[in-house]
Amino acid sequence: MSEETVNSPVTAKKINPRIESYKQFWRRLLKNKAAVIGGLLIVFVVLMAFIGPWIITTFTDYRPNQTDLTNKLQGPSASNWFGTDSFGRDIFTRLIFGAKLTLYVGFLSVFIGGIVGVVFGIISGYYGGRVDAVIMRLMDVLLAFPGILLALAIVAVLGGSLTNVIIAVGIFSVPAFARVVRGSTLSVRKLEYVDAVRALGASDFRIIFKHILPNIMSPIIVQASLRIATAILTGAGLSFLGLGAQPPAPEWGAMLNEGRQYMFEAGHVALFPGLMIVLVVLAFNIFGDGVRDALDPKMKNR
Amino acid sequence: MEKQELLKVEGLKQYFPIKGGFLGRTVNHVKAVDDISFTIYEGETVSIVGESGCGKSTTGRAILRLEEPTEGKVEFRGVDLAGLSKRDMRKYRKDLQIIFQDPYASINPRQTVASVLTEAMDIQKVLPANERRGRAEELLETVGLLPYQADRFPHEFSGGQRQRIGIARALSVNPQLIICDEAVSALDVSIQAQVLNLLEELQDEFKLTYLFISHDLGVVRHISDRIIVMYLGKIVEIADKYSLFENPKHPYTKALLSAIPIPDPDKKKERIVLRGDVPSPIDPPSGCRFHTRCPYATEKCQVDVPELRTASSMKEGHEAACHYIEEIESGEKQPNY
């Protein structure tokens, strides 16, 4: 063989580890039946939340706040699939309109909490020392409160509304993110390639965003997918206590609370919103667990 | 030709605090590097040898301020790097580069080789942006890789190839001094030789100066001009290669050299086996730090710290830190094992 043949470029398929690890992640996630079901449920709820109200308003006469007092507290029937509540409103319609609110609370609060938590965590882990001590003690204080109690206190201060619930749940998600991110940052910061770019004179900003953040995304994603479930539950809990969405908003937690008074005469009023909350929270939890397993390098060849 | 000073380290100390107690107060220090001074001249290769934990890597990292030194001066061409602000230091980082031990940990697994090299050039603003890619490919050729491999990711290379990428990254900013921190220790012996030869070729081509940190005396003997022997955070002996290997003066250096295997089964050699372990750098022995294990130690050694000095039987530039260089040499003092 001549030298040239040896040195000619081999046009093998380029393997980008990013794409490759995504592919591997999907393969492992799809193997996990429970996670797939959870994922499909989430997709279903998201579609329901965004297309559902449009379908209902375009093709039917049902409206979420349309009262019909002659037809109140009726059980499930062909005209009212999930029955009606104490004002004669159709529960099915309300649930579909409420899905959006529930998802808002879940995603937005985790988004807010995630961003703040990641920033705190990275600063804490990267700079260490006194900054780290101050931030982490602050996080410890937040963690010392039981989650719902902390959210309750924040909403009590800010006043009851859905926006404040999102803020409150966001704040109470911060320490969880900060802790996870701090730990990962500490381990990545010690790697030699971070020293290498530092020796090249890279700014802290570049090191953090280009070399540390991309390498700690997995735990952040896992934390986010698990946190959404908690956030939804807390949001519904606050609305149940009357501190979140205000009537007549069709928030599931608030609907559950309304149904509470008629628990014995018309159980379905509380049953269906409750079921929906359980279903969505369960879906996010199962899916989050699946994501965690799929991203865990120790589970690689299973 | 007059030798030009490139790097002058003076009184360098690196103490790591040990935090303890409820309030996280500093209860003690690990004295990793304790007051060392040496000079590196332009174009030479200086090695630091010593056993694990003697502070050789810490010295390299302190020079680059990857860990802020506790005390001391690091003068590079007359500028004290240790006294610069972080911002000003960044400009000087271009002149001092480092090659790491572990080729698997020293490259970001998410970057292609080309982006590793162009990023380095981007940080130091060498070359306009549109020429960087070409330069990266050139560099790959310089270190013995092929230009078409530029778009590959680190996991597609072997350890030796990755070490070459690390070298290319160090070269990309046109440095004058490269610190090789155990740069070949993680490689197979055959690959070690290749990388060492590459380093020597690059030294000739780019007029580089190396500070070579290693525990492998064979490698050090091959590549160095001068050698610094460290023990427990202090320099015990500095000498040019020949003096050190042929005429070691410090008892520790002698023991260290006697540990080099000789590839000749018939040849009998005297192996000096030291007693005990390296003492803890948290609470190092008083006086000469080697006195707890030295076969020649006396009471004086426990009290007085020996300074580096040149005895009459030593060549110029050869220094050892021992009270009894002459006595040991004349046979007046015998080892008591």
Separation CA A185–CA A90 (nearest Å):
50
Nearest to B108 among A9, A15, A211 (CB): A211
Query: Given CB atoms, is A12 within the 8 Å cutoff of chain B?
Result: no
Chain B residues whose beta carbon lies within 8 Å of the beta carbon of residue A18: 110
Rounded CA-CA distance B221/B113 in Å is: 32
Number of CB atoms found within 10 A of residue A177's CB: 25
Strands of the sheet containing B234-240, edge to edge, are B96-99, B177-181, B209-214, B45-49, B226-231, B234-240, B319-320
Hey, is the C-beta of B107 within 8 angstroms of any chain A C-beta?
yes
Pick from B263, B252, B74: nearest CA to B179:
B74
In a mutational test of the A interface, the residue from B68, B96, B108 whose CB has the highest number of chain A CBs within 10 Å is B108
For residue A302, what pLDDT is reported? Answer: 44
**Could you tell me if A203 lies within 8 Å of chain B, comparing CB atoms?**
yes
Contacts of A211 in chain B (CB under 8 A): 108
Q: Dihedral (C-alpha) A269, A275, A281, A284: value to the nearest 10 degrees?
A: -130
| CB proximity B258 to A under 8 Å | no
* Domain A98-302 classification at class level: mainly alpha
B94 in reach of chain A (CB within 8 A): yes
Of A55-69, A112-126, B263-277, give the range with the top mean pLDDT. A112-126
Q: Which residues are B260's β-sheet partners?
A: none
Burial tier of A227 (Cβ tally within 10 Å: 0-12, 13-18, 19+): buried
Output the CA torsion sign for B100, B103, B108, B114.
Answer: positive
DSSP alpha helices (H): ranges in chain B?
56-63, 86-92, 113-124, 129-142, 159-171, 189-206, 217-223, 241-246, 251-258, 299-303, 325-330
B-chain residue closest to A14, CA distance: B152
Whole-angstrom CA distances from B302 to A82, B31, B235, B320, B331 are 90, 18, 17, 17, 21
| CA-based nearest distance A164→chain B, Å | 37
CA nearest neighbour of B33 among B8, B70, B86 = B70
Answer for the pair B251, B290: CB distance below 8 angstroms, yes or no.
Answer: yes
CB nearest A17 (choices: B94, B105, B110): B110
Whether A203 sits inside 8 A of B148 (CB atoms) is no
Q: Which residues on B lie below 8 Å from A214 (Cβ)?
A: 110
Any CB–CB contact under 8 A between A18 and chain B? yes
Closest-CA distance, A206 to chain B, in angstroms, reads: 9
Give the pLDDT of residue A87: 84
Distance from C-alpha of B150 to C-alpha of A9, rounded to nearest angstrom: 11
pLDDT tens for B210-269 read: 999 998 888 899 899 999 999 999 999 999 999 999 889 899 998 888 888 777 777 776
Please state the rounded mean pLDDT for residues B6-27.
84
A18, pLDDT greater than 80: no
> From the CA of A136, how many Å to the nearest CA of chain B?
14
- Tell me the residue length of chain B: 337
A63-72 pLDDT, tens per residue?
888 888 888 7
Contact assignment for A201 to B94 by CB distance below 8 Å: yes
Q: What is the Cα–Cα distance from B73 to B83, expressed in whole angstroms? A: 8
Cα within 13 Å of Cα(A127), Cβ side: 16
pLDDT higher than 90, residue A136? yes
Å from B281 to nearest chain A CA? 22
Q: Using a CB cutoff of 8 Å and minimum separation of 24, what contacts does B197-205 make?
A: B198/B143, B198/B144, B198/B164, B198/B167, B199/B167, B199/B223, B202/B142, B202/B143, B202/B167, B202/B171, B203/B43, B203/B45, B205/B142
Ordered by where they begin, the domains of chain B are: 5-95+175-330 (3.40.50.300)
pLDDT of residue A220: 92
C-alpha to C-alpha distance for B309 and B238, rounded to whole angstroms: 10
Task: Render pLDDT for B34-74 as a digit per residue (tens, 0 to 9).
Answer: 889 999 999 999 999 988 888 889 999 999 999 889 989 99
Query: Is residue A199 within 8 angstroms of chain B, CB to CB?
Result: yes
- Residue A287 pLDDT exceeds 60: yes
Contact B105 A7 (CB under 8 A): no
Selected residues 114-153 of chain A with any CB under 8 Å from a CB in chain B: 133
Q: Is B66's CB within 8 Å of A198's CB?
A: yes
From its phi and psi, is residue B333 left (phi > 0), alpha (psi between -120 and 50) or beta?
beta
B124 has a pLDDT exceeding 60 = yes
- Phi, psi at B149, each rounded to 5°: -80, 0
User: Is residue A85 a contact partner of residue A101, using CB atoms and an 8 Å limit?
Assistant: no
Per the DSSP assignment, residues forming a β-bridge with A208 are: none
Chain A residues whose CB is inside 8 A of the B89 CB are: 201
Closest partner CB to B124 (pick from A7, A9, A201) = A201
- The token pair at A238 is 């606050």
B106/A200 touch (CB, cutoff 8 Å), yes or no: no
Number of H helices, E strands in chain B: 11, 11
B141 versus A65: the higher-pLDDT residue is B141
Calculate the CA B337 to chain-centre distance. Answer: 31
The whole model's pTM is what?
0.82
On the question of pLDDT at A42 being above 80, the answer is: yes
Q: For strand B79-80 and strand B177-181, is the pairing parallel, antiparallel, or unpaired?
A: unpaired
Residue B143 near residue B171, CB atoms below 8 Å: yes
Q: Domain ranges in chain A?
A: 98-302
Q: CA–CA separation, A215 vs A212, rounded Å?
A: 5
- A195 and B CB contact within 8 Å: yes
State what percent of residues in chain A have pLDDT above 70: 92
Q: How far apart are CA B253 and CA B235, in angstroms?
A: 11
Q: Work out the minimum CA distance from B219 to partner chain A, whole angstroms.
A: 22
pLDDT mean over A218-236? 90
Would the pLDDT of A183 be above 90? yes
Are residues B110 and A14, on separate chains, in Cβ contact within 8 Å? Answer: no
How is the beta sheet containing B79-80 ordered, strand by strand? Answer: B25-41, B5-20, B71-76, B79-80
Phi and psi, residue B162, nearest 5°: -65, -40
- Contact across the interface for B166 and A17, Cβ inside 8 Å: no
Mutation pick from A200, A203, A206 vs chain B, by most beta carbons of B within 10 Å, is A200
Contact indicator for A22, B114 with CB cutoff of 8 Å: no
Which residues 6+ apart lie within 8 Å of A154 measured at CB? A164, A167, A168, A171, A172
Partners of A191 on chain B (C-beta within 8 Å) are 105
Does pLDDT of A1 surpass 50?
no
Cβ separation A200–B120 shorter than 8 A: yes
Q: Which residue has the higher pLDDT, B195 or A10?
A: B195
Determine the Cα–Cα distance for residues A189 and A197; give it in Å rounded to an integer: 11
Pseudo-torsion of CA A153, A158, A160, A166, nearest 10°? -80
Q: Which of A14, A191, A215 is facing B110, going by the closest CB pair? A: A215
The mean-pLDDT minimum among A132-136, B17-21, B118-122, B302-306 falls in B17-21
A81 burial (CB, 10 Å; 0-12 / 13-18 / 19+) is middle
Average pLDDT, chain A: 86
Distance between CA atoms of residues B259 and B270, nearest Å: 9
Q: From the CA atom positions of chain A, what is the Rg in Å? A: 24
- Answer for the pair B197, B189: CB distance below 8 angstroms, yes or no: no
